[in-house]
């Protein structure tokens, strides 16, 4: 089983792409429940596409810290019909899953990209699905499932440690037969990372880009932005109030060469990307 040909070439694309989030979950931290029904999820995906999303990232399991795992059959029931329908509209789709079977069925249903937040660590069969299908594979930095991830935030040097652990995933992918051009890397902001860990990872975006793989940045509406924007001694601002800050990260990520940003509010990030690209292309040196 091979994915449908990818309408976007990873290697020739010369602008940062937008991956719009379609969470078919009742409990994601940022938009949980909003698009849980099949129709709502499809409509939301189509709207994001109109607003400028190049890729729609369809997920059926919340990765919010502390979230319980979803049964595999339930995950399939959530995502496969949505992928089938969005694919019938010609959308480029990534499936946000850590399960090999879900990835395999998603590709059969028309998905092009496997977005595995565990980088292949959660399910031993995942790397083989990536190798056999030839799908683009997003390997995110990850240390454990949602229920334990906050206890695994221990780093000597977060930038060095994340880089080393990502490169060890790459080695593992190569050993399974995944080709270099299939691989996208992602530092995994917020996954076993405190706010203090996320900022150096973002600040070192150029070094992650220099690893030579397309880089995906997923900062959208995350906790560390809620804390950044809060008044002193006040709780974090709610997820929907984090979209301007997310768009600022989009612009900076694009400026520093990220391949794509994964965002909930596509129109704001689309504007931010226009600014970053105009700025960058006006440079003469």
Active site residues: 222, 262
SS (H, E, C) 83-95: HHHHHHCCCCEEE
Q: Where are the beta strands (DSSP E) in the chain?
A: 17-23, 55-59, 93-96, 113-116, 136-140, 183-186, 216-217, 260-263
Which residues ranging from 174 to 233 are in contact with ligand PMM (CB under 6 A)?
A: 186, 188-189, 216, 218
Bridge partners (DSSP) listed for residue 136 = 113
Establish if 138 lies at the interface with ligand PMM (CB under 6 A): yes
Which residues ranging from 246 to 265 are in contact with ligand PMM (CB under 6 A)?
A: 262
Supply the minimum distance, in Å, between the C-beta of residue 23 and ligand PMM: 5
Question: By C-beta, is 94 or 281 nearer to ligand PMM?
Answer: 94
Supply the minimum distance, in Å, between the C-beta of residue 232 and ligand PMM: 26
Question: By C-beta, is 46 or 146 nearer to ligand PMM?
Answer: 146
How many chain residues are in contact with ligand PMM, going by CB under 6 A? Answer: 19
Establish if 63 lies at the interface with ligand PMM (CB under 6 A): yes
What is the number of the residue whose Cβ is closest to ligand PMM? Answer: 218
Question: By C-beta, is 216 or 247 nearer to ligand PMM?
Answer: 216
- With the CA atoms of 124, 128, 130 and 131 taken in that order, what torsion angle do they form, in degrees rounded to the nearest 10? 150
What's the rounded Cα separation, in Å, for the pair 278 and 6?
27
Which residues ranging from 21 to 50 are in contact with ligand PMM (CB under 6 A)?
A: 21, 23, 28-30
Establish if 69 lies at the interface with ligand PMM (CB under 6 A): no
Phi-psi map region of 191: left, alpha, beta (phi>0 left; psi -120 to 50 alpha): beta
Among 64, 101, 128, 172, binds ligand PMM (CB under 6 A): 64
Supply the minimum distance, in Å, between the C-beta of residue 32 and ligand PMM: 8
Phi, psi (deg, nearest 5) at residue 98: -105, 5
Establish if 97 lies at the interface with ligand PMM (CB under 6 A): no
How would you class 119 by CB atoms within 10 Å of its CB: exposed for 0-12, middle for 13-18, buried for 19 or more?
A: buried
From the list 176, 178, 214, 191, the residue with the least C-alpha distance to 16 is 214
What's the rounded Cα separation, in Å, for the pair 242 and 162?
25
Question: By C-beta, is 88 or 181 nearer to ligand PMM?
Answer: 181
Match 């979803």 to its residue by tokens.
70
Establish if 140 lies at the interface with ligand PMM (CB under 6 A): yes
From the list 265, 230, 238, 229, the residue with the least C-alpha distance to 250 is 265
Supply the minimum distance, in Å, between the C-beta of residue 283 and ligand PMM: 29
Binding stretches for ligand PMM (CB under 6 A)? 21, 23, 28-30, 62-64, 96, 115, 117, 138, 140, 186, 188-189, 216, 218, 262
């Amino acid at each position: 089983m091979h994915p449908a040909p990818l309408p976007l070439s990873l290697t020739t694309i010369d602008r940062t792409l937008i991956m719009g989030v379609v969470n078919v979950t009742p409990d994601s931290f940022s938009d949980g429940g909003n698009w849980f029904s099949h129709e709502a999820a499809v409509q939301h995906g189509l709207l994001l596409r109109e607003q400028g999303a190049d890729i729609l990232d369809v997920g059926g399991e919340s990765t919010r810290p502390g979230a319980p795992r979803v049964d595999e059959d339930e995950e399939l029931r959530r995502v496969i019909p949505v992928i089938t329908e969005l694919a019938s509209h010609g959308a480029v789709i990534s499936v946000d899953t850590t399960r090999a079977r879900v990835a395999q069925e998603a590709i059969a249903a028309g998905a092009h990209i496997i977005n595995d937040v565990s980088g292949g660590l959660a399910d031993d069969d995942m790397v083989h699905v990536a190798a056999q299908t030839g799908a683009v594979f997003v390997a995110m930095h990850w240390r454990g499932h949602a229920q334990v991830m906050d206890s695994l935030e221990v780093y000597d040097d977060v930038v060095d440690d994340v880089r080393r652990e990502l490169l060890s995933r790459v080695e593992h992918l190569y050993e399974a037969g995944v080709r270099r051009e299939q691989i996208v890397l992602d530092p995994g902001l917020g996954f076993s990372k405190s706010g203090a860990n996320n900022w150096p990872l973002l600040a070192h975006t150029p070094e992650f880009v220099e690893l030579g793989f397309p880089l995906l940045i997923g900062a959208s509406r995350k906790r560390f932005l809620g804390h950044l924007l809060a008044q002193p001694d006040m709780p974090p601002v709610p997820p929907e109030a984090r979209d301007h800050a997310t768009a600022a990260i989009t612009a900076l990520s694009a400026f520093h060469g990220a391949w794509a940003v994964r965002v909930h509010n596509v129109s704001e990030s689309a504007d931010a990307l226009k600014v970053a690209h105009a700025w960058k292309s006006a440079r003469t040196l």
